[in-house]
Amino acid sequence: MKFKIRNKTVRRLVSIGLVIALALFFALSTEAFLSPRNLFLLLKDSAYLGLIALGVSIVIIGGGIDLSGGGIVCVVGILTSRLTFTGLPGIVILAGGVILGAVCGAANGFLIAAVHLTEFVATLATGFVFTGMGLLFAYRSNGRISGNLISKSITNKSFLAMGKHINGLYYITIVWVAMSVLSHFVMVRTKFGLHTYAMGSHEKSAEMSGVNVARQKALGFVISGACAGLASVMVVANMGASAASLGTGYEFQAIAACVVGGLVLGGGKGDTIGAFIGSIFMLLVLNGLYKFNLPTYWQYIFQGAIIIIATAFDAQFAKFAQKRRAAESAARTAA
């Protein structure tokens, strides 16, 4: 019996291979890369991006795009830091940040499902709005313009505890892994996941099959916003403060992580595990560039190049997969 590897598995192996190859390159070329401290920090930073990418991946699988992640991180981070000074328990503030992120995602869903704006236009616009709101709250203190774009140092111990670690392994990393496993189960084993894939593969067909496309899209954006809100709260807890620059560029890094992980812009292909792998790859690139002391502009150049290369590769891989399926079908017919 001939062993056959599915196209999806081949694409997954390519993503994993890229991560391993990049890790080996940096391990051999820089001394500090394989130190336990650097690896734990790499996983922590990957988790921040990974949580945002996790939510974005669900939107992408459904055939959409979410460009508001950075703005959500900004406004949630600023407001979260303010809440810490009220004396509320850290877990309550965490829940508030996630809910606020979900509300921002619901605003995206409303504009897309009810107002019928395209995903690109709606989330691009709200991304600016959320960032502007974050700047507004950062500037204003006690109802007056303060001009201070960095919050006071947070002293709420129960909140700061969420940014700590256990023997080097940060809580955010544990949350990210658990969320990735849970989301993968939801996407492959539940009606929500199956409907999202159906919508991303062919929206009209999914609608004719009884899928409530408007509600499905809205739920995807709510989840994406909640994930961005969770990431923002954990970042602020680790930093011990917030800043108006929080979240800048995260939306594009999250999309890049999804593309590298095998998700196809247009929907219907890839999974949340791909976003997990892609997030590690993106942070490997940034971490490695930092170790080489390269200027910041190289980070932007490499991120843009990665998106171009990954998208071009997926286009060619799709052609390869189509030819492979045609060959297998012909072989079965001949048999």
Q: What is the structure's pLDDT at 142? A: 46
| Chain segment 22-70, per-residue pLDDT in tens | 888 888 877 777 788 888 888 998 999 999 999 999 999 999 999 999 9
Average pLDDT, the chain: 86
**pLDDT above 90 coverage of the chain, percent:** 45
What φ, ψ does residue 208 adopt, rounded to 5°?
-70, -25
Burial label for 50, CB within 10 Å (0-12, 13-18, 19+), is buried
Q: Which string of DSSP letters, residue by residue, matches 243-299?
A: BTTTTTTHHHHHHHHHHHTTPPTTSSS--HHHHHHHHHHHHHHHHHHHHTT--HHHH
User: Which fold does the domain 36-146+154-316 belong to in CATH?
Assistant: ABC transporter involved in vitamin B12 uptake, BtuC (1.10.3470)
Tell me the whole-structure pTM to 2 decimals: 0.89
Q: Which residue has the higher pLDDT, 226 or 140?
A: 226
pLDDT of res. 145: 47
> Each residue of 236-284: pLDDT tens digit?
999 988 887 888 888 888 998 898 888 888 888 888 998 999 999 888 8
Over residues 288-299, mean pLDDT: 75
Can you list the alpha helix ranges (DSSP code H) found in the chain? 7-29, 36-61, 69-83, 90-113, 119-139, 157-160, 171-189, 191-201, 203-208, 213-239, 250-260, 272-291, 296-334
Q: What is the pLDDT of residues 200-229, one digit of tens each?
A: 988 888 888 888 999 999 999 999 999 999
CA distance linking residue 101 with residue 104, whole number of Å: 5
pLDDT at 141: 57
- 3, pLDDT greater than 50: no
Gap between the Cα atoms of 18 and 261, Å rounded: 10
189-204 burial, b at 16+ Cβ within 10 Å, e below that, comes to: eeeebebbbbbbbebe
**Domains of the chain, residue spans:** 36-146+154-316
